[in-house]
Structure 1
Amino acid sequence: MLRLDNVTKVYRTGTFGGRTVTAVGGVSFDVLPGEVVSLIGESGSGKSTIGRMILGLTSVTSGAITVDGSPVRPGKDYYRAVQGVFQDPFSCYNPVFKADRVFTLIKESYFPRVSAAEWTERVDAAVRDVRLNPGEVLGKYPHQLSGGQLQRMLIARALLLDLKLLVADEITSMLDASTRIDVLNLLAELKTRGLGVLYVTHDLSLGTYLAERTVVLRGGAVVEMGPTDQVFGDPRHPYTRALLAAVPRLNAPWEDPSPVTSCLYHDSGAAGGDGRSDGRPDRRLVEAGPGHLVACARLADCPPP
């Protein structure tokens, strides 16, 4: 369904755009119908940029993004099938309007001929699908609702469309622990209906909760990807190992993991046969197991951090 093929995003910076910054470099992966794929990495790794490119909010510099074989074309037809839910639900609502105005806008854009009575039934059903009571949330202003309620209303809005793909960008980061699990369980339920979900997060514990596959980013490039149980159960790249080592544990003091410096992938001074012709490290993915890919020129030379 969703496919990224060697996608790169370059921004121009500095006076008169004389310099460039590569936010995403040569990223390729896919999301199948009824599948949740976690996109994991530290802040600045390119996760949100990838989500914005999929949603057509940011242009692609090179490479291709397709949904069901068709390129991203922002517009009513595209957004009928592809929707995004973002980190801060409060930013998605106008505080001077009631929160359920997000449903009214969907009706005006996509279902102008649907009667008011039928639309009310559809909205009520969508709100119940996200485990909310319509009587408790509809007709309220955003400041009268919690972040979890607002987040689930945004998912309900997406469900009113013929949705195929949901880009969930850090949608649980502002929620309390119990509400996070509710939202994640909701995503798990939606995937049983055939919905594909790209779950963008920096939280490894949440990323393992419901994703069949995991893509780990660093510096805008994929360093490891594959089935979640393999990526987290047998991490092969030093950066993935460092991320896992940094997860706090209740029964042990937190220790700052050693910096990732030993892998040729991160050694900007790598040259000759170990690197590319421009002296930068080779970012090709090598197979560490069935469907388990790792970015490294010489995997054996990458000891644990």
Structure 2
Amino acid sequence: MSKVLIVAEHLDGKLNASTAKCVTAALALSPEAIDIVVLAADPAAVAAEAAQIDGVARVLTVTNEANAQAVAQVLAPQVAKLADGYSHVFGPSTTFGKDLMPCVAALLGVPQVSDVMSVEGSHTFKRPIYAGNAIITVEAPAASIVVATVRTASWSEAGKGGSAPVEAASVQAELPTHSRFIGLAAGSSDRPDLQSAKRVVSGGRGVGSAESFKIIYDFADRIGAAVGASRAAVDAGYVPNEMQVGQTGKIIAPELYIAVGISGAIQHLTGIKDAGTIVAINKDADSAIFEVADYGLVGDLFKVLPELEAALG
């Protein structure tokens, strides 16, 4: 029987929704048990959140001042030690997981399975390749522990009706000194997090300028959405890089995605293929974005968005 350890992603004492999506992926294995490990300087608040996720057997906490920041080289030796006795170690396919899990796999001496979007067996999974244009089936060595990142856009969040016990874990791992946390440079915003938001409004080259992007922000605020952008908008300097959606940006799966002034390059479509409902607004009726949109509106965004906002009352 499978036994899964999931590494919790958290920031500022709050659990990231990606952890609950990893639990859903783990449940597809029909495992004997699913445990979550929270590594932090003070893991209590995050552990309490993790304990509420349906399907979780235990929440393990590793308290260490060295874990105050999510430095992969510091967390990986501890996760590798905790992996003993587990058949699978999962982490989210976010910036956090993509940084950490390869280090864990290297320390355990096993290959990593990346971007798991479907579980076909205990060691068999499906994952996207070629910017999501093809799906490949991969099989991990049967005798080895499986270290994998979970494609969060492909899985829903597990429910929050659980009450798993929280247990302190003691880890004897030698932590490296060659890597240390210096600082975190991140944009601050009161809007929902782009990676986990239920609604997202994105602007593209058609918005025209950084100043004109205000119309995107205003509409997103009106419907309580996060704000994203195409690579063209980022490259043009309209918005910062962390807002980019697509193959070289963030892969997201909101319930509602509104693409404004975005032509629909394949790299962008890769980032939104798992969205629930896609709405496209573009003055070019031949834009590729309309081929994937559930609803399309041909028109000038500077006229359409104010009209939509007014219609919302």
Q: TM-score, normalising length from structure 2?
A: 0.26
TM-score, length basis structure 1: 0.27
